[in-house]
Structure 1
Amino acid sequence: MTSKGDLTRARLAASMLELIQTSGYAGTGLNAVIEHAAAPKGSIYFHFPDGKEGLGVAAVELAEAQFAALIAEVAETAGSAAGAARAAIEALAAIVGESDFRLGCPVSVVTLEMGAESERLRQACAAAFASWITPTTELLVGSGLAESEARSLATVVVSMIEGAVIVSRATRSTEPLHAAADVVAELIEGRVAQVGGAR
Structure 2
Amino acid sequence: MTSKGDLTKARLAESMLELIQTSGFSGTGLNAVIEHAAAPKGSVYFHFPDGKEGLGVAAVELAAKQFETLISEAAASTGNASDAVRAVIAALSTIVSGSDFRLGCPVSVVTLEMGAESERLRLACVTAFESWIAAAASLLEAGGVDAEHARSLATVVVSTIEGAVIVSRAMRSVQPLASAAEVVAALIDQRSAKAGETR
If the length of structure 2 is used for normalisation, what is the TM-score?
0.99
Look up the match of 1:66.
66
Look up the match of 1:151.
151
Q: Does 1:85 pair with 2:120? A: no
Look up the match of 2:182.
182
Look up the match of 1:46.
46
User: Post-superposition shift, 1:48?
Assistant: 0.2
What is the CA–CA distance in structure 2 between the aligned matches of 1:63 and 1:9, rounded to whole Å?
15
Q: Does 1:171 pair with 2:171? A: yes
4+ aligned runs moved over 4 Å, structure 1: none
Look up the match of 1:138.
138
What is the CA–CA distance in structure 2 between the aligned matches of 1:63 and 1:142, rounded to whole Å?
24
**Could you say what secondary structure the match of 1:25 adopts?**
coil
What is the CA–CA distance in structure 1 between the aligned matches of 2:173 and 2:2, rounded to whole Å?
40
> Unaligned 5+ residue runs, structure 1?
none
Look up the match of 2:125.
125
Corresponding letter in the other structure for 2:181: A
Look up the match of 1:198.
198
What is the CA–CA distance in structure 2 between the aligned matches of 1:144 and 1:80, rounded to whole Å?
10
Please, which moves more after superposition, 138-147 or 124-133?
A: 138-147
User: Post-superposition shift, 1:198?
Assistant: 3.0
Look up the match of 1:8.
8
What is the CA–CA distance in structure 1 between the aligned matches of 2:83 and 2:149, rounded to whole Å?
19
Which digits, 9 at most, give the CA deviation of each residue in 1:19-55, with x for residues without a partner? 0000000000000000110111010000000000000
Alignment of 1:25-36 (within 5 A): 25-36=25-36
Which digits, 9 at most, give the CA deviation of each residue in 1:72-124, with x for residues without a partner? 10000111011111100110000000000010000000000000000000000
What is the CA–CA distance in structure 2 between the aligned matches of 1:173 and 1:25, rounded to whole Å?
24
Corresponding letter in the other structure for 2:90: E
Which digits, 9 at most, give the CA deviation of each residue in 1:147-196, with x for residues without a partner? 11100000000000000000000000000001111111111001111221
Does the 8 Å CA contact 2:168/2:176 hold for their aligned counterparts?
A: yes
Q: Give the fraction of aligned pairs with identical amino acids, expressed as a percent.
A: 72
Corresponding letter in the other structure for 2:182: D
Please, which moves more after superposition, 187-196 or 166-175?
A: 187-196
Corresponding letter in the other structure for 1:150: A
If the length of structure 1 is used for normalisation, what is the TM-score?
0.99
User: Post-superposition shift, 1:197?
Assistant: 2.1
What is the CA–CA distance in structure 2 between the aligned matches of 1:132 and 1:195, rounded to whole Å?
22
Question: How many residues of Structure 1 are paired with residues of Structure 2 in the alignment?
Answer: 199
> Unaligned 5+ residue runs, structure 2?
none
